[in-house]
């Protein structure tokens, strides 16, 4: 019993346990939100608002109150806080610095490619892949194949230049 509790608190949980609970949560989001779980669109909306306020962008479509009452904001904020809390309950919370300058560059370029790709394909791994397929949309399956090929190309690059 104590050992089970230890595993629950400290992890890691088995992948299949994660899959089942995440599946249930994904359904609950659909039920409560009347729309599937998604990540990047809300991030993009915040970026438009912040950019416009800083004078870098010009998009008057978003207001602070509008964003603060948008469900996507609470999903993303919750995701971040939930992950932080998960490390804290196990006394594993700490700052993890970048070990090498090349990883700084790869993170920056990777993030750029990912953000661009997600927005021209209407979503990321969650909104377009997982929930595209879950919505029985043909686009979801095609996006998944493209992401898989992209991952394969990226891995080749990673092995050749970064590791």
Partner 1 sequence: MGTNAFHSQQKWNLGFIVFLTLLLVLLAQISTNLTLIFVLGISLGFVLQKSRFCLVSALRDPILIGMTELTRAFLLLLGISILGFALVSWGASQRNIPLILNVFPLGVHTVVGGLLFGIGMVLAGGCSTGILMRIGEGFAMQGVAFFGLVVGAVLGERSLITWRNLFGEWSGIFLPDLLGWVPTLILEIAVLVTLWQLAKWWQKKQLGE
Count the Cβ atoms, other than its own, within 10 Å of residue 138: 9
Judged by CB, which is closer to partner 1: 1, or 12?
Answer: 12
What is the DSSP code (8-state) at residue 20? Answer: H
Closest distance of CB 145 from partner 1, Å: 7
Judged by CB, which is closer to partner 1: 1, or 46?
Answer: 46
Q: Is 133 exposed, middle or buried (0-12, 13-18, 19+ CB in 10 A)?
A: middle
Judged by CB, which is closer to partner 1: 1, or 31?
Answer: 31
Closest distance of CB 55 from partner 1, Å: 14
Q: Is 82 exposed, middle or buried (0-12, 13-18, 19+ CB in 10 A)?
A: exposed
Structure tokens at 33: 């939100």
Closest distance of CB 41 from partner 1, Å: 8
Please report, to the nearest 10 degrees, the dihedral formed by the alpha carbons of residues 51, 53, 57, 60 taken in order. 120
Closest distance of CB 100 from partner 1, Å: 10
Judged by CB, which is closer to partner 1: 63, or 89?
Answer: 89
């Amino acid at each position: 019993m104590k050992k089970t509790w230890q595993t629950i608190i400290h992890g890691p949980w088995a992948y299949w346990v994660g899959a089942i609970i995440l599946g249930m949560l994904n359904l609950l989001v659909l039920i409560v939100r009347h729309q599937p779980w998604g990540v990047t669109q809300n991030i993009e909306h915040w970026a438009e608002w912040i950019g416009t306020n800083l004078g870098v962008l010009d998009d008057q479509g978003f207001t602070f109150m509008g964003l603060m009452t948008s469900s996507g904001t609470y999903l993303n904020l919750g995701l971040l806080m939930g992950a932080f809390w998960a490390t804290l309950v196990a006394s594993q919370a700490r700052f993890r610095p970048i070990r090498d300058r090349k990883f700084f560059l790869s993170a920056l370029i990777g993030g750029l490619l990912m953000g661009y790709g997600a927005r021209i394909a209407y979503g990321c791994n969650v909104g377009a892949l997982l929930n595209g397929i879950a919505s029985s949309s043909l686009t979801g399956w095609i996006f998944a194949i493209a992401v898989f090929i992209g991952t394969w190309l990226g891995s080749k690059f990673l092995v050749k230049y970064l590791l």
